[in-house]
Amino acid sequence: MKLALLAPLFLFLLTRCASPSTDPAVNSSGEVYRGLDPTKFSEVIDGGTVGLYWIKADSIEVALTNYGGRVVGLWVPDINGQMTDVVVGMGSAQGFVSSTEPYFGATIGRVGNRIANGTFSLDGKTYSTPTNDSLHTLHGGGQGFERVVWDVSQPDTRTIVFHYLSPDGDQGFPGNLDVTVTYAVDDQRRLNIDYVATTDAPTPVNLTNHAFFNLNGEGSGTILGHTLQISASEYTPVDATLIPVGSQASVTDTPFDFTAPHTIGERIGADDEQLRFGKGYDHNFVLNEAVIGGQQAVATVTGDQSGIVMKVYTQEPGLQFYSGNFMKGQNGFKSGAKDDYRSAFALETQHFPDAINQEGFGQTVLRPGERYETRSSYGFGVVGR
């Protein structure tokens, strides 16, 4: 998170209702494209108009919806040149509304990850947030940003801009928080996500995206054969309820050592207390300082069947690796496949979980006159190229 003086406070893009891209290659006529029917996203939810939108650059196409400010699907070529959908998601707005997993592809806020016991203190005052993960608040509460119908504008065929004014008291958080999230693709086959926020009262902020990936394609089976490398010498251990215990531990000689490539499934069943707590990987990795900033990849993942390689870039200090341990096959994806156990993974760029309550985890409080600004990117290629 970069904090800098901002004057005046709320200077943001004017938002307007946007139509799907005018690029004929990505469904200007409103017809079914990549199996997605735009009429299944065209509805009013909680008084907001929802739609399906596309952005496109060279060899990358992304479908998005302003319900949850989320990625619906992302197509890139595999090693044989076949366009492959590497982000799982639903085929309709109502599919996301009714999903038992509400976070597929969504913008997460105000505070990504967990807040212990749904409470925090700020400037001498205690605040309570909804506990939607056992005793704790997860991803901003039960009605977080994934449930919001965002304002939307589309300045060009490569860019979509989502905007939301989170009111004072939203899910118990103080201050009116003005948030803009911009998704853009480029000819380097990257999806860049820029987050900007300001506030009129001190409030914690930790924004991220919760795309679930399967680099072999949606519905292709488990992700256990994917190879993963993370530039992190430490991670933050958790208790049995997945709240960090406040320390940073070395990954050396543990199943959390991804400093060299390992398959996700290689050690996921190891006799390890932390893996038992998470039912697999569901942990924050402390990124090595040398790779933070967006110039070097903090993580690299390779699909074992497709040969697709994904690199993650970020200005954030942490990366939550989640191996799909709580997926139960209860929801249907746009391909017709189910969200089966460990059939997708997430790599969420972030400040550390429960940082508002943990000394030494970095500050996440945004104050009036400051600007929250951070970028994370997901870049795609293939093995050997």
Total residue count of the chain as it appears in this document: 385
User: What is residue 196's three-state secondary structure?
Assistant: strand
d(C-alpha 67, C-alpha 70), whole Å: 7
Which of the following is catalytic: 210, 226, 283, 351?
Answer: 210
Report DSSP state, residue 39. G
Specify whether 351 is catalytic.
Answer: no
- Cα gap 97→79, rounded to integer Å: 34
Contact 46, 16 (CB under 8 A): no
Q: Which two tokens stand for residue 357?
A: 């309550």
Type and span of the H or E element at 55: strand 52-57
Active-site option among 163, 348, 351, 370 = 348
Alpha helices per DSSP H over the chain: 93-98, 273-278
CA atoms in the 13 A half-sphere facing the CB of 44 = 3
Could you give the 3-state DSSP secondary structure of residue 58? coil
| Known catalytic membership, residue 101 | no
Asked if the peptide bond before residue 110 counts as cis, ω within 30 degrees of 0, the response is yes
Cis peptide bond upstream of 24, omega within 30: no
Burial class (CB in 10 A: 0-12, 13-18, 19+), 15: middle
Pick the closest to residue 162 from 18, 37, 23 (CA basis): 18
Residues of the chain by 3-state class (helix, strand, coil), percent to 5: 10, 40, 50
Q: Which are the catalytic amino acids?
A: 210, 348
